[in-house]
Protein backbone atom coordinates (compact mmCIF):
# COMPACT_ATOMS: atom_id res chain seq x y z
CA UNK A 1 0.00 0.00 0.00
CA UNK A 2 1.59 3.24 -1.11
CA UNK A 3 0.46 5.31 1.85
CA UNK A 4 3.72 6.53 3.20
CA UNK A 5 5.68 7.92 0.30
CA UNK A 6 2.82 9.54 -1.60
CA UNK A 7 3.93 12.95 -2.84
CA UNK A 8 7.43 12.44 -1.45
CA UNK A 9 10.72 13.11 -3.16
CA UNK A 10 13.82 11.55 -1.65
CA UNK A 11 16.91 13.69 -1.82
CA UNK A 12 20.23 11.98 -1.12
CA UNK A 13 23.19 14.18 -0.31
CA UNK A 14 26.65 12.69 0.16
CA UNK A 15 29.02 14.57 2.40
CA UNK A 16 31.88 13.64 0.09
CA UNK A 17 31.91 13.17 -3.66
CA UNK A 18 30.70 9.82 -4.94
CA UNK A 19 33.60 9.86 -7.35
CA UNK A 20 37.15 9.26 -6.17
CA UNK A 21 36.23 8.75 -2.51
CA UNK A 22 34.60 5.37 -2.65
CA UNK A 23 37.85 3.53 -3.37
CA UNK A 24 39.31 4.88 -0.10
CA UNK A 25 36.61 3.35 2.09
CA UNK A 26 37.99 0.38 4.01
CA UNK A 27 36.23 -2.93 4.30
CA UNK A 28 35.94 -2.32 8.06
CA UNK A 29 34.17 0.99 7.44
CA UNK A 30 31.74 -0.67 5.01
CA UNK A 31 31.01 -3.36 7.58
CA UNK A 32 30.48 -0.78 10.32
CA UNK A 33 28.23 1.27 8.06
CA UNK A 34 26.05 -1.74 7.29
CA UNK A 35 25.79 -2.50 11.01
CA UNK A 36 24.96 1.14 11.72
CA UNK A 37 22.20 1.35 9.12
CA UNK A 38 20.66 -1.87 10.41
CA UNK A 39 20.70 -0.51 13.97
CA UNK A 40 19.18 2.81 12.96
CA UNK A 41 16.45 1.26 10.85
CA UNK A 42 15.45 -1.32 13.46
CA UNK A 43 15.75 0.78 16.62
CA UNK A 44 14.26 4.16 15.69
CA UNK A 45 10.69 2.88 15.11
CA UNK A 46 10.80 1.38 18.63
CA UNK A 47 12.02 4.61 20.26
CA UNK A 48 9.45 7.18 19.19
CA UNK A 49 11.02 7.51 15.76
CA UNK A 50 14.49 8.72 16.77
CA UNK A 51 17.86 7.07 17.30
CA UNK A 52 21.50 8.10 17.20
CA UNK A 53 24.54 5.87 17.61
CA UNK A 54 28.00 5.09 16.27
CA UNK A 55 29.78 1.90 15.28
CA UNK A 56 33.51 1.19 15.09
CA UNK A 57 36.64 2.93 16.32
CA UNK A 58 39.02 5.64 15.11
CA UNK A 59 39.28 5.92 11.31
CA UNK A 60 36.66 3.22 10.74
CA UNK A 61 34.06 4.75 13.08
CA UNK A 62 30.79 5.89 11.54
CA UNK A 63 28.12 8.05 13.20
CA UNK A 64 24.45 8.05 12.33
CA UNK A 65 21.10 9.55 13.28
CA UNK A 66 17.58 8.95 11.98
CA UNK A 67 14.29 10.60 12.80
CA UNK A 68 10.74 9.99 11.69
CA UNK A 69 7.95 12.52 11.73
CA UNK A 70 6.47 12.20 15.19
CA UNK A 71 2.85 11.69 14.12
CA UNK A 72 3.38 8.63 11.91
CA UNK A 73 3.12 5.01 13.00
CA UNK A 74 6.11 2.84 13.84
CA UNK A 75 5.40 0.73 10.72
CA UNK A 76 5.38 3.79 8.47
CA UNK A 77 8.56 4.98 10.14
CA UNK A 78 10.24 1.63 9.48
CA UNK A 79 9.12 1.63 5.84
CA UNK A 80 10.40 5.15 5.27
CA UNK A 81 13.81 4.37 6.77
CA UNK A 82 14.03 1.13 4.82
CA UNK A 83 13.56 3.07 1.59
CA UNK A 84 16.75 5.01 2.30
CA UNK A 85 18.85 1.88 2.57
CA UNK A 86 17.37 0.52 -0.64
CA UNK A 87 17.95 3.84 -2.44
CA UNK A 88 21.60 4.38 -1.50
CA UNK A 89 23.05 2.10 -4.18
CA UNK A 90 24.13 5.08 -6.29
CA UNK A 91 27.07 5.68 -3.95
CA UNK A 92 27.14 2.72 -1.55
CA UNK A 93 30.66 3.34 -0.27
CA UNK A 94 30.48 7.06 0.55
CA UNK A 95 31.79 8.16 3.93
CA UNK A 96 28.77 10.36 4.58
CA UNK A 97 25.24 10.97 3.39
CA UNK A 98 22.20 12.98 4.41
CA UNK A 99 18.70 12.13 3.20
CA UNK A 100 15.43 14.03 3.45
CA UNK A 101 11.80 13.15 2.86
CA UNK A 102 8.45 14.26 4.23
CA UNK A 103 8.26 11.45 6.78
CA UNK A 104 11.84 10.68 7.82
CA UNK A 105 15.44 11.88 7.68
CA UNK A 106 18.76 10.10 7.98
CA UNK A 107 22.39 11.14 8.17
CA UNK A 108 25.64 9.22 8.59
CA UNK A 109 29.23 10.42 8.53
CA UNK A 110 32.76 9.47 9.47
CA UNK A 111 32.79 12.70 11.55
CA UNK A 112 30.99 13.09 14.86
CA UNK A 113 28.13 15.53 14.14
CA UNK A 114 25.86 14.70 17.10
CA UNK A 115 24.30 17.81 18.57
CA UNK A 116 25.55 20.01 15.72
CA UNK A 117 23.02 22.09 13.81
CA UNK A 118 23.10 20.89 10.18
CA UNK A 119 22.20 23.72 7.82
CA UNK A 120 21.17 21.61 4.83
CA UNK A 121 17.48 22.02 4.09
CA UNK A 122 14.87 22.02 1.33
CA UNK A 123 11.46 23.56 0.74
CA UNK A 124 8.43 22.92 -1.46
CA UNK A 125 4.92 24.25 -1.95
CA UNK A 126 1.82 23.02 -3.71
CA UNK A 127 -0.25 24.10 -6.67
CA UNK A 128 -3.40 24.84 -4.70
CA UNK A 129 -3.43 28.57 -5.33
CA UNK A 130 -2.51 31.51 -3.13
CA UNK A 131 -3.78 32.67 0.23
CA UNK A 132 -4.92 36.14 1.14
CA UNK A 133 -1.76 37.88 2.49
CA UNK A 134 -3.57 38.62 5.76
CA UNK A 135 -4.37 34.93 6.12
CA UNK A 136 -0.78 33.97 5.40
CA UNK A 137 0.43 36.48 8.00
CA UNK A 138 -1.70 34.80 10.65
CA UNK A 139 -0.42 31.38 9.59
CA UNK A 140 3.19 32.56 9.53
CA UNK A 141 2.80 34.02 13.02
CA UNK A 142 1.52 30.60 14.12
CA UNK A 143 4.65 28.96 12.70
CA UNK A 144 6.85 31.50 14.47
CA UNK A 145 5.10 30.53 17.68
CA UNK A 146 5.93 26.87 17.06
CA UNK A 147 9.59 27.77 16.63
CA UNK A 148 9.64 29.06 20.19
CA UNK A 149 7.60 26.28 21.83
CA UNK A 150 8.80 23.12 20.06
CA UNK A 151 12.19 23.05 21.88
CA UNK A 152 10.41 22.57 25.21
CA UNK A 153 8.31 19.60 24.04
CA UNK A 154 9.32 16.08 25.18
CA UNK A 155 9.81 14.87 21.59
CA UNK A 156 10.77 18.31 20.22
CA UNK A 157 7.62 18.12 18.12
CA UNK A 158 4.36 20.07 18.20
CA UNK A 159 1.25 20.56 16.07
CA UNK A 160 -1.16 23.49 16.26
CA UNK A 161 -3.73 25.46 14.24
CA UNK A 162 -5.09 28.96 13.94
CA UNK A 163 -8.55 30.23 13.00
CA UNK A 164 -8.28 32.63 10.05
CA UNK A 165 -11.96 33.51 9.83
CA UNK A 166 -13.95 32.86 6.65
CA UNK A 167 -11.04 30.90 5.18
CA UNK A 168 -11.23 28.32 7.97
CA UNK A 169 -8.07 27.22 9.71
CA UNK A 170 -4.39 26.84 8.94
CA UNK A 171 -2.47 23.94 10.42
CA UNK A 172 1.18 23.80 11.40
CA UNK A 173 3.66 21.19 12.57
CA UNK A 174 7.32 21.56 13.54
CA UNK A 175 9.98 19.17 14.71
CA UNK A 176 13.67 19.17 15.67
CA UNK A 177 16.21 16.38 15.77
CA UNK A 178 16.37 15.32 19.40
CA UNK A 179 20.15 15.42 19.60
CA UNK A 180 19.99 19.23 19.42
CA UNK A 181 19.99 21.56 22.38
CA UNK A 182 16.85 23.62 22.97
CA UNK A 183 18.65 26.73 21.75
CA UNK A 184 19.87 25.09 18.55
CA UNK A 185 16.38 23.71 17.92
CA UNK A 186 14.82 27.16 18.18
CA UNK A 187 17.55 28.77 16.10
CA UNK A 188 17.14 26.12 13.40
CA UNK A 189 13.38 26.59 13.10
CA UNK A 190 13.62 30.37 13.12
CA UNK A 191 16.34 30.25 10.45
CA UNK A 192 14.17 28.07 8.20
CA UNK A 193 11.26 30.50 8.44
CA UNK A 194 13.40 33.53 7.70
CA UNK A 195 15.32 32.00 4.81
CA UNK A 196 12.34 30.42 3.04
CA UNK A 197 9.63 33.00 3.73
CA UNK A 198 9.85 34.58 0.27
CA UNK A 199 9.63 31.13 -1.33
CA UNK A 200 6.52 29.92 0.53
CA UNK A 201 4.85 33.32 1.02
CA UNK A 202 1.05 33.26 0.56
CA UNK A 203 1.09 29.54 -0.28
CA UNK A 204 -1.72 27.44 1.18
CA UNK A 205 0.48 24.38 1.71
CA UNK A 206 4.25 24.00 2.09
CA UNK A 207 6.95 22.09 3.87
CA UNK A 208 10.50 22.93 4.88
CA UNK A 209 12.62 19.84 5.45
CA UNK A 210 16.02 19.53 7.09
CA UNK A 211 18.27 17.11 8.92
CA UNK A 212 18.12 19.24 12.09
CA UNK A 213 14.57 20.59 11.89
CA UNK A 214 11.49 20.54 9.67
CA UNK A 215 8.18 22.42 9.38
CA UNK A 216 4.86 21.66 7.69
CA UNK A 217 2.00 24.08 6.92
CA UNK A 218 -1.36 23.46 5.28
CA UNK A 219 -4.97 24.55 4.92
CA UNK A 220 -6.01 20.89 5.29
CA UNK A 221 -6.33 19.23 8.69
CA UNK A 222 -3.97 16.27 9.02
CA UNK A 223 -2.52 16.99 5.59
CA UNK A 224 0.89 15.64 6.48
CA UNK A 225 -0.27 12.37 7.97
CA UNK A 226 0.37 9.19 5.94
CA UNK A 227 -2.19 8.55 3.24
CA UNK A 228 -3.13 12.21 2.72
CA UNK A 229 -1.83 14.21 -0.22
CA UNK A 230 -1.81 17.81 0.93
CA UNK A 231 -0.70 19.21 -2.39
CA UNK A 232 0.83 18.45 -5.75
CA UNK A 233 4.17 20.26 -5.64
CA UNK A 234 4.71 22.57 -8.59
CA UNK A 235 7.50 25.11 -8.27
CA UNK A 236 11.25 24.63 -8.31
CA UNK A 237 14.24 26.62 -7.15
CA UNK A 238 16.78 23.99 -8.08
CA UNK A 239 19.65 25.27 -10.24
CA UNK A 240 18.47 25.69 -13.88
CA UNK A 241 18.99 22.57 -15.93
CA UNK A 242 19.82 20.37 -12.95
CA UNK A 243 19.99 16.74 -14.09
CA UNK A 244 19.01 13.76 -11.98
CA UNK A 245 22.58 13.60 -10.71
CA UNK A 246 24.68 16.73 -10.40
CA UNK A 247 27.71 18.01 -8.54
CA UNK A 248 28.79 21.33 -7.13
CA UNK A 249 28.31 23.80 -4.29
CA UNK A 250 24.89 25.37 -3.77
CA UNK A 251 23.42 28.32 -1.85
CA UNK A 252 24.07 28.40 1.89
CA UNK A 253 24.21 30.75 4.88
CA UNK A 254 27.00 29.49 7.12
CA UNK A 255 27.35 26.28 9.07
CA UNK A 256 30.12 23.73 9.07
CA UNK A 257 30.96 24.01 5.37
CA UNK A 258 31.22 20.26 4.79
CA UNK A 259 29.19 20.25 1.58
CA UNK A 260 31.73 21.88 -0.73
CA UNK A 261 31.91 18.74 -2.87
CA UNK A 262 28.68 16.79 -3.11
CA UNK A 263 26.74 14.32 -5.13
CA UNK A 264 22.98 14.86 -5.32
CA UNK A 265 20.72 11.99 -6.25
CA UNK A 266 17.02 12.70 -6.67
CA UNK A 267 14.61 9.78 -6.63
CA UNK A 268 10.87 10.11 -7.11
CA UNK A 269 8.57 7.39 -5.82
CA UNK A 270 5.33 8.51 -7.46
CA UNK A 271 6.45 10.95 -10.11
CA UNK A 272 5.56 13.94 -7.93
CA UNK A 273 8.38 16.41 -7.42
CA UNK A 274 8.25 17.40 -3.78
CA UNK A 275 11.51 19.13 -2.98
CA UNK A 276 12.18 22.29 -4.88
CA UNK A 277 14.35 24.76 -3.04
CA UNK A 278 17.39 23.78 -1.09
CA UNK A 279 20.37 25.24 0.65
CA UNK A 280 23.38 23.92 2.42
CA UNK A 281 26.36 25.19 4.30
- Looking at mean pLDDT, say which of 6-20, 73-87, 150-164, 246-260 comes out highest: 150-164
Same domain, 116 and 50: yes
More confident residue, 252 or 138: 138
Same domain, 79 and 35: yes
When pLDDT is averaged across residues 17-30 and rounded to a whole number, the result is 59
Same domain, 117 and 242: yes
pLDDT value at 244 more than 90? no
pTM for the whole structure: 0.76
pLDDT band at 93 (very low <50, low <70, confident <90, very high): low
More confident residue, 230 or 186: 186
More confident residue, 88 or 172: 172
Q: What is the spatial order of strands in the sheet that 121-125 belongs to?
A: 157-163, 169-176, 213-218, 206-210, 121-125, 277-279
- Helix and strand element counts for the chain (H, E): 4, 13
Q: What is the pLDDT of residue 96?
A: 85
Which pLDDT tens digit goes with each residue over 207-243? 999 999 999 999 988 665 544 333 333 333 332 222 2
Would you give the end-to-end CA distance of the chain in angstroms?
37
Q: Is residue 165 part of a domain?
A: yes
Q: Is residue 36 part of a domain?
A: yes
pLDDT value at 252 more than 50? no
Q: What is the pLDDT of residue 120?
A: 82
For residue 203, give the CATH number of its domain. 3.30.430.20
Same domain, 166 and 245: no
Count structural domains, the chain.
Answer: 2
Q: What is the pLDDT of residue 2?
A: 33
Q: What is the pLDDT of residue 125?
A: 86
Domain range for residue 192?
127-218
pLDDT value at 151 more than 70? yes
Which secondary-structure segment (H or E) carries 149?
A: helix 133-149
Same domain, 261 and 134: no
pLDDT band at 27 (very low <50, low <70, confident <90, very high): confident
The beta-strand segments (E) located in the chain are 9-14, 50-55, 62-68, 96-100, 104-109, 121-125, 157-163, 169-176, 206-210, 213-218, 245-247, 263-268, 277-279
Amino acid sequence: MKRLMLSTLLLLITLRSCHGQCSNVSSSFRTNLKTLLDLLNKTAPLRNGFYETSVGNKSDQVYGVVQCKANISSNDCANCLKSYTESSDGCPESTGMATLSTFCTMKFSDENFFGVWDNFSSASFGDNGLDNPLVFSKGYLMMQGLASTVPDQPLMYQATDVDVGEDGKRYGLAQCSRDLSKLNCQNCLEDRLVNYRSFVENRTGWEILGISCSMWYSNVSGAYSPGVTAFTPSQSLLPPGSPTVTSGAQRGNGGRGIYANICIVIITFTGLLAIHAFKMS
